[in-house]
Structure 1
Amino acid sequence: MGVGISLLLLLFKLYKLKILKSVAIKATFNNKKIAVLPNSSQAFSFWNTIYLGDALNAEEKKQILLHEVVHVEEKHSIDQIFFEFLRVLFWWNPLVYVFQSRITVLHEYIADAEVITTIDKRNYIEQLLNAAFQTQEITFVNQFFNQSLIKKRILMLQKSKSKTISKFKYLLLIPIVLGILTYTACSEELNQSKDNDFEGSKNDDRPDYAALMISHEPKCPNQNSVYNKNLNNYLSVRNGKNSEAILDIISIETSKKIRTIHFFRNQTFFVRNIPEGKYKLHISYGEDYAEKTVDETCKGYFKNEVATEINENILDFDVLKTEKGVNIPSYNISIDMVKKESELPDESSEESNTIVNNNNSGGSEPKCSNQNSTYDKKIDNYLKITTGNNAEVIVQVFVLDTEQVIRTAYIKRGKMYFIRNIPEGKYKLNITYGDNYAEKTVDGVCLAYFKDEKANEIGEYTLDFTVIKTDKGYNVPSYNIALDFNDNDPIN
């Protein structure tokens, strides 16, 4: 509707112009077409025709003709028609009207500047001030008498052109800009050199870049890093507030490290251009980053290492071609150290709790009670468990038919935990509520339990993790459950 109305307005303007041309008296001036309008003091031009009212005196006609000839020779009407079509197509955009107004002003400046080279500028200004203005409402014509432009045109006529020597002042900007660019480039290079001056095997001092507190890929342990500049993928890693971290990206197929990143607290880093393949993450937590050479390979490490872990998730960066195009995988993950080593129970005791850090700060799958756990790394499913504030929870996932426990998870009060990569099958949950987590060995099997047990139950629902193939692809089941000691129906 907007385009239609705008087009009708344009056609109406053309019709009004046609009416004016039909009643005008045809004449010529310097091989230019003149249309003399009877009983009118209007003056404007369009395309190759100048429209001039016969009520204007001889002096006015002379100055106006000189002005409008410039519009015709410079083909200013092409600019105006172009903006008229833009107004039809983009009628809703105010910038089109602003730009057309600006180009109209520029046209008048150009014509005025040309005229005052042949006639007296003072007389020309007086003629602009004293004329009786009647403006035809056709936006695409070059109007001589336009009240909204007269003030701007007179002010522009009063200005003098910059002297040639003044123009050379702008040349001074060139060395200034070049100096700024050189200074900026040198500053960036200096910062990069600081980032890359890392502690080697013979230097135990803290590296200079630590003062910058920016996560990065250290130069020494990344000497043999591999990149694929054709792949615009990324791995976004967010480190928590509890510790610095070193993350090694390891290829599952070759077991080789392809990238090392050093994280400061509360920082996010994007690892980019990762080659196709499947990878796992080796993570170390600690303080005082350092580097050493082992078997001619530079490695990053912490002098005060607190904990290490192998992230259970497999990151598949293989590019997939689908009907909709090419799918280039990228991932966002968070890492953080859950507990410091001093906070863990003594492994030599009967009740040792060797908790492996995971991607959730409120739970874990204890190493001892998960010695016989099973995973299917090809299936990216999960069982999300959220606990209430009344008790800690131990969840055992067991096979419905054989009652074999495939996973044991320990979740604190009011926390959330994801059990991932669960093999296909049907399972039920053995749920224990209590406090004071511990472990013990019975008949050679490590069992997780609470010293202060409050309740134990078998979840009433069956969790079916069988992958289903559909017309739209694969349906990989995942579940969310909420557990709390006081709930009548703890599994939702």
Structure 2
Amino acid sequence: MLYYLLQTVIFQVLFLALYDVFHKKDTFFNWNRLYLIITPLLSLVLPFVKIQAFRNQTSQVYVTKLERVITISSENLVVLGTTGADQNPTNWWMVIYCTGAGLSLLLLILKFYKLKVLKTVSFKANFNSKKIITLPNSNQAFSFWNTIYLGDALSEAEKKQILIHEIVHVEQKHSLDQVWFELLKIVLWWNPIIHIYQSRITILHEYIADATVIATIDKRNYIEQLLNVTFQTQEITFVNQFFNQSLIKKRILMLQKSKSKTIAKFKYLLLIPILAGILVYTSCGEESNQLTNTVENSKSNENSDSSNPSISHEPQCPNQQSLYDKNIDNYLKVRNGKSSEAILDIISTETSEKIRTIHFLKDQTFYIRNIPEGKYTINIIYGDNYAEKTVDGVCIAYFKDEKANEIGEGILDFNILKTEKGINIPSYNLSIDMTKKESELPDESSEESNTTVNGDNYGQAEPKCPNKNSSYDKKLDNYLRITTGNTAEVIVQIVTLDTEKSIRTAYIKRNEVYFIRNIPENEYRLIISYGDNYAEKTVDGVCIAYFKDEKANEIGEDILDFTVIKTDKGNNVPSYNITLDLNDNDPIH
């Protein structure tokens, strides 16, 4: 949310700067009015606009390092860090925002109340279907909606000119503009740019009304009246828009200005490159924004049904018996792929009871939070047309068009670990997708997915030549799990941080999962190449794997620490999950 609010402010500053530099002094008043009304709305909408074509123009190579997996007696445990006892602190940012919005709303209500009071104590009349309110003992003159307010201390000549001026405000519905900005000031009360926008639209309203008035009366007399007020030649203090001295000076200057040439309207086309740049920015930032929004949505809806059909959620009916522990700030982060919707059940290994059910849409991430301590397994159903039914008094989620289902073999241990460094609260990271039939998925113990180490025999994905100097530690049952996308084949080198030497090289084809196992204790970085037509060559006596048709390459920024952690419960053996993919075919080096 904070990222979104920052974006809206930046966009509004850009739009307002463009207006002040190129349009503010032009006489295209109605065009400027439309600009000032629409651009604040655009700033609120544009962060949500994602154009795939723009995104594809900017090629990106990304390495997504999932949370560190700690292995205890073959059970996969993620230790993310130490947390305190206060798991549900008050959201003071929301309290502050609601307080500010409430005060802004109260101020708007007071403004309407003052208008109502003025109507009750004043003399009322009608003129050309417009309501005229005569304010006793007053020099004020202003209008709102279909009503014009005139002080009875004004002269008849002043009333005549002011009446023509205020009728323009009424007929052109300038009050709608002001109400629009008042509502924006409630929602964005903390944003000073909205106040600047309103000041711009206010003076623009006066320009529009003045331009209409001088078409019916003598311009010189009209300007002289404004000058009398400006230089206080009459002993009258005016506190309204019509007689506001700071606005009057600007109005006089604009009245004396020649009309802008028609060709100057082409300056409005400058908005196009600004919009294009903003759309490129928002579209290319789609992935990170989506993740941020997903996290916030999951936090706010963790204990309730999400009625929004466009995001993954925990449906209310099958979660009637769900279990939560709000004192534990853990989570199971699940990323569903693009091939199918999914229903995920978390089942206790001790009681075989289902504690949570989540419905995942395609290509979405959801955080399942506040999971009680215990050990669990995962059941997954893939399909379309989500539905619910009651079986033996229990509400069950299912797909009318079921495609596949699987029972997770891994055990998720959510028991809290107490170590010398503090309390480690386990959380997990899981990627699910129905990319292949279950029978076609490589088994972790098979040659297709695992490295076979027995002398000169290397696994299928670890070619012999570039792995002549590979290092293994058979005593460590750790792994680096690599998942590739469908855009390119991948060559991965595991390089030590201290010596910059490659200890293993893996060649992985599209849409495959491969486990690089038995990695010695150390800290490593990845060197990744994307491309087609795998080949090998010798450089300075060293065999190197490469692609004849290389598309991109990069050095991973993440450090993979495979150092074993010793705890009271035994040795925790770290492992990692990596997802590699290339967005398009444009080369990046």
Tell me, yes or no, whether TM beats 0.5. Answer: no
What is the TM-score normalised by the length of structure 2? 0.34
Query: Structure with the greater relative contact order (CA < 8 A, sep ≥ 6): 1 or 2?
Result: 2
* More helix by percentage: 2
What is the TM-score normalised by the length of structure 1? 0.40
